[in-house]
Chain A
Amino acid sequence: MTASYEERKLVSEIRAGRREAFERLLDLYQDKVFALVHRMVGSQDAEDVAQDALIHVCNSVAGFRGRSSLSTWVYRVAMNVCLEHRRKRRPEVVPFEDDLVGRQAHPEGDPVTVAVKNEVKRDVDSAIQLLPEIHRDVVILHELQGLTYRECAAVIGCPLGTVKSRLSGAFAKLRELLSDYASEGGIAT
């Protein structure tokens, strides 16, 4: 999948040095990049690493060749920054943050339902964090960031079949970890 016309136009405007184009780029991708970084490096370093990743994206987007979609390219840059960060601070421990669920609390609805939903989310987050890195990365990219298998393969830099098998393996593990919910037939989120 190559870059769309709008993406190419945006990149050409960035090459021209227009501030509005940079702002548009950040509006498009800052939440996605932050969510990815937050999942990959944890909340403690998320802001710094996301900032580094976005600066990296802005500084090097002039070299974007349009061989993939712009979002894939941005994810790849962010992923590389995260991997670099992981390498620097091994052994990696990504703590699960309770505050994340609190920040995302649903203001509407029955308090009991909201509480149950929050608990489910907390358990799902815990299960995701318990996955091995290679499985967790594809789950984050595909399930949480909404990338296709092909885009995941481009971001991670591995064959399509590897993404497929990693996701299958990841869900087998998640199924064990979330066996209670799975057996109950799931809870609507």
Chain B
Amino acid sequence: MKCQRVKEEIKAYVDGELGRVTRWRLARHLAACAGCRMEEKTMTDLAGQVQGASKAAAPPGLRGKVLGKIEFKPGARRRKWILIAVPAAGLGALVVAAILFPVFAGSHERARIAPLLAARRSRQAAERALPSMPFPTRAQGPKEQLAKAKVNTPWAPSARRPAPQAGDRGYGAVAPPSVPTTPLIIKTADISIKVKSFQKAYDDAVWICRSVGGFVSDSTAESEESIPTSGSLTLRVPVDSFESAIGRLSRLGTVKSKNIKGQDVTGEVVDLESRLRNKRAEERQYLEIMNRAKRVPDILTVTEELSRVRGEIEEAQGRLKYLRASAAMATINVSLSEKERPKPVPASKSSITRTFKNAVASLGRTANGLAAICIWLGVYSPFWALPIAAWLYLRKRQPAAQ
């Protein structure tokens, strides 16, 4: 051991705070080095002087003052882990509640609507069963038939009689014959398809349309360098072939978007038919008046009214015809475009530029990710900020020594 090292360790040696090996090495050095022995003696004397420094004794009244300010009550041993465990338990309870609340809420909701669902299911079952029942005959009247249905089904069937059918004469209630049995719906579809070759896809679309009995009502095409690359077609196809035509068109390429709409015009058709019947009745009345009219002014007036009524009849007939034709032939708007060919990378761009752009793009993604994390943390702040605040508050209330 060298003297410099001895100088560093001599204080601990004098205090008896050295390890056994170091102490032995230092003692061996001291036995051989007179200078270090002098150092040891100086340090021992100095320590003695410092230890002999004056020590103040507590004033006599201190004990009484302290005893007067403390409470002699049993105190529970405060455990530090409670400071962590309590907020952690609170946080855990919050998380569990947050997870379980929708489940319980859902079960309550299900329990609430369960009777309604059961009633609905039984009604549907009864509705399925009713059409198979034989219609009332003269031997078995409608009242008896309804009573039988009432026994078989839990719900009151009085408001849900089976729809009258053709040939039903003994039932009483007969719907107006003009009401269409199937709804009239004008179907329209918009499809956008990416294709490899526009020309081939265009030809195929036209062939599909014609094969199902339809026709092309409109078409456009756009060219690039005298080669058509995109365009659109408006196809009219029979409504029965609407679905199959769309399915076949979808296989021409990659469908980018598909939008199918249906406009129910049943109500409008029924309304137009009723108005048409009224107008025809009105026309017949005017014709009878015309036959009886003797004076010229009367004849002129009736003629004027007749022409008005006939105009309205033609208008209604035209609208009816249009609606029926629209409902009979669905419209499909097909938009075809060729897939973009990959553009060659300009040779002038160096790898440094690409690397720089990649780095900038990566930085943007990282910033977005960090922003997302901050937003999540902010939104979930009640779950972590409150426990931390509680923990800090409790920690502050702890004694300084804890």
Contact = CB atoms under 8 A, between A and B. Distances in A.
Interface in B58-103: 58-59, 62-63, 65-67, 69-70, 72-79
Contacts of A22: 67, 70, 72
A189 B70 CA distance: 39
Interface string A118-148: 0011001100100000000001001110001
Contacts of A185: 41, 45
A80 B400 contact: yes
B400 A164 contact: no
Given A50-B62, A60-B399, A149-B17, A55 B69 contact: yes
Residue among B15, B73, B79 facing the most chain A CB atoms (10 A cut-off): B15
Contacts of B48: 186, 188-189
A64 B54 CA distance: 31
A27 B42 CA distance: 36
B57 A34 contact: yes
Interface residues of A, number: 66
A188 B75 CA distance: 48
A92 interface: no
Q: Is the interface on chain B under 10, 10 to 19, 20 to 34, or 35 or more residues?
A: 35 or more
Contact of A77 (B72, B73, B78, B400): B400
A10 interface: no
B402 interface: yes
Contacts of B105: none
A51 interface: yes
Given A15-B76, A34-B57, A189-B48, 12 more contacts: A17-B75, A31-B57, A39-B56, A43-B56, A46-B56, A62-B77, A81-B400, A103-B57, A124-B49, A124-B52, A143-B50, A149-B15
Interface of A: 14-19, 22-23, 26-27, 30-31, 33-35, 38-39, 43, 46-47, 50-51, 54-56, 58-60, 62-63, 65, 73, 76-77, 80-81, 84, 100-101, 103-104, 120-121, 124-125, 128, 139, 142-144, 148-149, 164, 167-168, 171, 174-175, 178, 181-182, 185-189
10 contacts: A30-B63, A30-B66, A31-B58, A34-B57, A34-B62, A60-B78, A63-B399, A77-B401, A164-B11, A186-B45
